[in-house]
Chains A and B, each alone.
Chain A
Amino acid sequence: MNKIKKLTHQTEFYIFLVIIVLALIIQARSDQFFTGNNLVDLANALIVPALFSIGTFMIIVSGGIDVSFPALAALASYIVTVVLNGMNYTGPIIVPFIFAGAIGLACGAFNGLFIAKMRLPALIATLGTQSVFRGILQGALNAQQINTLPPSMKEFGQSSLFVSQNADGVTSMMPTAFLALVVVVVIAFIILRYTMLGRGIYAIGGDESSANRAGFKVVKTKFFVYCFAGVIAGITGIIRACMMNMVHPTNMFGMEMTVIAAIVLGGTSITGGTGTLTGTILGIFLLTMVQNSLIMLGVPAYWQDFMTGLLIIIGTAVSSVQILRSQKQRKPSLSKAGS
């Protein structure tokens, strides 16, 4: 009983409810939601936004924000593909991953330098670096669409863990890249849950000076968070390129808003300190599901943006109301403790 009560106090539970209700509506309207193919397609569409959301989630929990990751990912994937194509690379897929991760690390460190070391406001700093990354991509490198990828990247993008098939023989592929998402989720989970570094991220987001007094290394922790998010974003760029079998420099621009909305939707406080990985994954799942179900729901094209916006507002409202409620419940006990 207590467990259930505890559950109803968590934002994640309500996001989960919204997902279930929406899924049932889509199922009722199209008879297609709970099919193997559709679930595999959703998992496929989830990979890139979910990867982005994990790094960004850690940044937001630490009290920062990052809007530069789509530009970073585009830059990393473009440089890696051009360089590897230039040397007619035919080796294993791990090299492009490490290469892109390294570029991501460098760009993330660039963000971290400004925000952690020089204490610039995170939003302004990453808006700036976003323009810098785009500028390098489109000005200095004069980036254009690349249609031919190194063979191992192409193979990776077209390989699948399994193929689902529905009754009339239509197939859907579960990309191998889904494994990358699983690995990153596990790493992030372990860091946040079981390491002092992870506790530090929450502590700094809650109150920086208290965290400092408690002995957390504020600058180092913040710097780590931006580097970690940079590595993930770089690798995500390569994954997107492999899955699309091409590099398109502007393809990911604009995703930062969806990702940040999903994180807040998942119950993470935009000012930092609170939030869970589960909530973030549920939030990004909900938004991906909405974006990939409007046709099945039969929403006319004119109304699709409206519906997406509406669902973001409803979802965020559900979690805000929940936070308000739990704050109200906490107050009396606090005053009791004070008296």
Chain B
Amino acid sequence: MKKILAILVVAVMSVALFACSGGTTPSASASTEASTEASTEASASADADGGTTAGDGNYTIAVVPKDSTNPWFVRMEEGVAKYQEENPGMTVFQKGPAETDAAQQIQVVEDLIAQGVDALCVVPHDPGAMEDVLKKARDQGIVVITHEASSMENCDYDLEAFNYDEYGAYIMNTLAEAMGGEGKYICMVGSLTNDSHNMEADGAIAAQGKDYPNMELIDERIVTDDNAETAYQKAKEVLKKYPDIKGFVGTSSFDAPGAGRAIEEAGLIGKVFAVGTGMPQTNKELLDSGAVSALTLWDPADAGYAMCKLATLVLNGEEVGAGTDLGLDGYDSLTLDGHVLTGSAYITLTKENVDNYNF
């Protein structure tokens, strides 16, 4: 009897845990205070470049990132806050789940739908899992913009900072330069269901196949759960399993830094190279020591701003398509494919220029 009870307790516990974590109030980080400091001039100029009078455009726009503590999305919030500042008539805020978790993120979106926002800008953790709830949002007339989810069907537009194949190729070019165009390399992704990470990895592999015949892919994808510690432990394991490895392609912002820490500890700086997405200030030391050869990224603040701008254009009923200008470098002449709008906004960080990016 006691044993059955024990099993029941464990079962209830795990269910309760999921239920509870799903229900935890995500850290609300609405930046509505920002609106008060905003100048009226800014709003005037925003109206002007919108082309039409947005006088009735007192929209509520919510941005939902994958995770509210990840510095990437903290930086995105700066762009969102900037948009709020320029448009004091609107309510623009960012609200994300407490941790990178598809179920929690869906819960946040559900809550926002219930609040009756005008537009949702979502960076989905698991696009497939997000389809239903975004369909529900659109059925209620909410404008849906997604980012980093080009396969998403239930959205008005998906906005991409760049084409993932091109970005993957860009990472590969940077890595190949560090590796001298030869040697074995492996790809790391946050999860196997993450569109952007896996498309970048595919793009990197395709570029290698085309341009770097002396490089060789280790055909295995390392899953790091978007967690710095996991990336570090897995990279150490890879170094043991493949002693002749020479390069790591990182796609999550924790991958290349995690691999860098492993390379540094193993005493392999200058022999093994890590290149991939990563934040400048977080990884300054790793760049300086050479543990990470170079980081590639786009500015998440710009992406946050551009999503809000795009949502406003759609809400205003303006025409959006190839050549649309969202008023930012890299987003000034978008290309359209289906409902995917793509910019060309990527940058490389090295130890020489890392100090120019203060986030």
Measured CB to CB, the residues of A under 8 A from B are 30, 32, 35, 37-38, 41, 45, 65, 67, 123, 127, 130-131, 134-135, 138-139, 142-145, 147, 168-173, 240, 244-246, 248-251, 253-254, 256-257, 264, 269-271, 291-293, 295-296, 298, 300-302, 304
Interface class of chain B by DSSP:
helix
B69 contacts the other chain (CB 8 A): yes
- Across the interface, do A127 and B24 meet the contact criterion of CB distance under 8 Å? no
B229 CB-CB contact with A under 8 Å? yes
Given contacts A134-B98, A170-B266, A257-B17, contact A296 B240 (CB under 8 A): yes
Chain A CB within 8 A of B217 CB: no
B residues contacting A by CB (< 8 A) are: 2, 5-6, 9-10, 12-14, 16-17, 20, 24-29, 67-71, 74, 98-100, 192, 220-223, 227-229, 232-234, 236-241, 243, 261, 265-268, 281-282, 284-285
How many A-B pairs have beta carbons closer than 8 Å: the answer is: 121
Known contacts: A173-B265, A244-B229, A295-B241. The answer to whether A127 contacts B16 by CB under 8 A is yes
Partner of B222, one of A135, A168, A298, A301: A301
A139 touches B241 (CB 8 A): no
Task: Report A-chain residues with C-beta under 8 Å of the C-beta of B238.
Answer: 295
**Contact: B241 with A296, CB < 8 Å?**
yes
Instruction: Choose among A38, A131, A138, A246 the residue that contacts B282 (Cβ–Cβ < 8 A).
Output: A246
Task: Beyond the given A30-B240, A123-B12, please list 13 additional residue pairs across the A-B interface where CB-CB is below 8 A.
Answer: A30-B241, A32-B241, A123-B9, A131-B24, A138-B27, A138-B68, A138-B98, A139-B25, A170-B268, A172-B265, A244-B232, A301-B223, A304-B223
Residues of B within 8 A of A35 (CB): 240
Are B16 and A295 interface neighbours, CB within 8 A? Answer: no
Q: Which of A142, A251, A301 contacts B229 (CB 8 A)?
A: A251
Contacts of A142 in B (CB 8 A): 27, 29
User: Which of chain A's residues have a CB closer than 8 A to the CB of B192?
Assistant: 301-302
Chain A neighbourhood of B243, CB < 8 A: 168, 170
Shortest distance from the beta carbon of B23 to any chain A beta carbon, whole Å: 8
Known: A123-B13, A249-B69. Is A37-B240 also a contact (CB below 8 A)?
A: yes
- A137, chain B: closest CB distance, angstroms: 9
Which listed residue, A139, A144, A270, A291, touches B28 by the CB 8 Å rule?
A139
Quick one: which of A170, A264, A301 contacts B267, CB cutoff 8 A? A170
Which A residues lie within 8 Å of B239 (CB)? 170
Interface contact B14-A257, CB-CB below 8 Å: yes
B228 near A127 with CB under 8 A, answer no
Known A138-B68, A244-B229, A253-B99; contact A171-B6, beta-carbon cutoff 8 A: no
When the two chains form their complex, are residues B27 and A139 in contact, meaning their CB atoms are under 8 A apart?
Answer: yes
5 nearest CB pairs, A to B: A138-B27, A250-B99, A171-B267, A295-B237, A170-B266
Q: Is the CB of A65 within 8 A of B13?
A: yes
- The answer to whether A295 touches B220 (Cβ under 8 A) is yes
* Given A142-B27, A246-B228, residue A301 in contact with residue B221 (CB < 8 A): yes
Whether B282 and A147, one on each chain, are in contact in the complex, defined by CB atoms closer than 8 angstroms, is yes
In the bound complex, CA of A300 to CA of B229 (Å): 20
Q: How far is the CA of A135 from the CA of B233 in the complex (A)?
A: 29
